[in-house]
Amino acid sequence: MTKNEKLKQWVSEMKKICTPDAVHWCDGSKDEYDRMLEIMLDAGIAMKLDESKRPNSFLFRSDPSDVARVEDRTYVASRKKEDVGPTNNWVEPKELKEKMLKLYNGCMKGRTMYVIPFSMGPIGSPISKIGIEMTDSPYVVANMHIMTRVGTKVLEALGADGEFIPCMHSVGKPLAQGETDNGKWPCAPIEQKYISHFPEENLIWSYGSGYGGNALLGKKCLALRIASVMAKREGWMAEHMLILRLTNPEGRKFHIAAAFPSACGKTNLAMLQPTIKGWKCECIGDDIAWMKIAPDGSLRAINPESGFFGVAPGTSYESNPMAMESIRKNTIFTNCLLTDDNDIWWEGIGVPCKHGVDWKGKEWTPESKEKGAHPNARFTAPARQCPVICPDWENPEGVPIDIFIFGGRRTSVVPLVTESFDWDHGVYLGATAASEATAAALDVKSKLRRDPFAMLPFCAYDMGDYWQHWFDMGDRLGKKAPKIFYVNWFRKDADGKWLWPGFGDNSRVLKWMCDRIEGKAECVETPIGRLPSKTSLDLSGVKVTGKDLEELLKVDVQAWKSELPEIEEFMNQFKDRLPERMKKQFAKMKKQLGG
């Protein structure tokens, strides 16, 4: 239990509303984790995988309506609609609470309410925050054990009067007396799903979904949506970014934070295995970065999570060997195929599967019309299991960021790598980032999606104000501001062939960035930014033809010019919140392209 009266009162209030059969305060122990899995095994919701192949690992199948983020059921309830901006779903806070309280009324009948004290970031770090999630899902408890620091130590750090972020969750499936889930994933119908954020109160309410970020409220809900507002208010940054350390042969350490939309290679880059002799890469985080300006003026970052919630399909020993090693044990898999020898499989894993049971529980063979694993199937694994986890990944002071990278999945137009002219131009590059749609969101319909800073679904206030916050942070950082680059690993030629080998060879692009910081690499000035000269990229031992390299570094002025009206239209939706400095950057780009 806790000495924090505010917390005790909140738990008491929600208990009266949700009427669970019991309340359990999570202590974060291994025994507790094991007990959660036993509960789900007994309920027929979890399947234990072969102990000799994948020790202490389990497979879950969610309901087909509950497989990804549901952006059209995700709400930001600020008091003023204009504070939310045009890219969020706004509902008046009182109205939303009334709707949800009706759903919460009696929603945990027949279940246990679990109170999960969790720390985002190392406990006690000046950059960390404490959250308390209440849930009726043992699946959530088990995943939060992996993804955050859970338990008694968090309550001790909270103390009697510490601040916490309240996170309320229910799967929305109360049980009548004697009723069980009967082996079915518990959730509410899609029209009853609500993932709601109340930024002025630092409050999160989620109902109806048991899956991923809809239910693991420390993830996108707290670490990005609520944290983005807190960061602006308090003068720091909460970003959808991986963090890695790259060490050159001379021993100099560079720290890189990079933003890509989900399923566009973020985890692959976070666990990069360099193909250049003498260079070493270590993973600090694969998804989220919290950054504050340190007393010495540098921007220091922590990974607020303690686990990986990775997209499984496409992950293989070829694409990401370190991720594959990270999930060999103690891992929760969701919506993967179950093989006949009681292991998991998914499309792109790199080995064939002749027969199994698909993510919907149906018999599957390679001839089946549907995929064996859902495109957004996931693994939840402890970060400490990654063979290349950085020794400083839990350093409470964080690591100093040298480089920011933005990027996306574009098969044409965008070159392999571009360096910004300066900080403001870098903010423009991040603001105009676009990527082809991924499977991480349930309801993405357009082929090309503008996704500024990979934060479009996660910034819980007006995006124009968010861009201004980036400009302001640049002013505060001054000469210590990280350099900004934009990358695109996904260029194809006219025949649809990848022009760049990717994976470990992406280290060659990172090397160029590091060399640029040290003044050791040449660049070519173009209307869109600085690109490598043809000889400044280290291509020793890699099969990239001169023709392919020319295409990778090509700047098609007409193609860039043709996107300007759409970019202008996108920016204009932010009206009077659009920063003057962003307008200047757009005008400058237009002029440089001859517009």
Helices 423-431, 580-592: axis angle to 10 degrees equals 90
Q: Whole-angstrom Cα distance, residue 62 to residue 216? A: 14
Q: Where are the alpha helices (DSSP H) in 370-529?
A: 423-431, 463-477, 507-517
Residue 420 · residue 272 · CB < 8 Å: no
Q: Could you tell me the CA-to-CA distances from 42 to 35, 37, 62, 138, 172 in Å, in that order?
A: 10, 9, 16, 12, 20
386 catalytic per annotation = no
Please list the residues that pair with 448 across neighbouring strands: 436
**Coil/strand/helix, residue 64:** coil
In this structure, what token pair is assigned to residue 28? Answer: 């974060």
Residue in 187, 264, 283, 336 annotated catalytic: 264
Give the length of the chain. Answer: 595
Amino acid, single-letter form, for residue 335: N
In this structure, what token pair is assigned to residue 295? Answer: 């007393």
Can you say whether the dihedral through the CA atoms of 567, 568, 573, 579 is positive or negative? positive
Report the 10 Å Cβ neighbour count for 476: 12
Helix (H) or strand (E) holding 118: strand 112-120
For the chain, the C-alpha Rg in angstroms (whole number) is 24
Q: 516-530 burial, b for 16+ CB within 10 Å, e for fewer?
A: beeeebebeebbbbb
Residue 565 · residue 533 · CB < 8 Å: no
Q: Whole-angstrom Cα distance, residue 31 to residue 149? A: 15
Q: Whole-angstrom Cα distance, residue 457 to residue 378? A: 19
Q: Which sequence positions are flagged as catalytic? A: 264
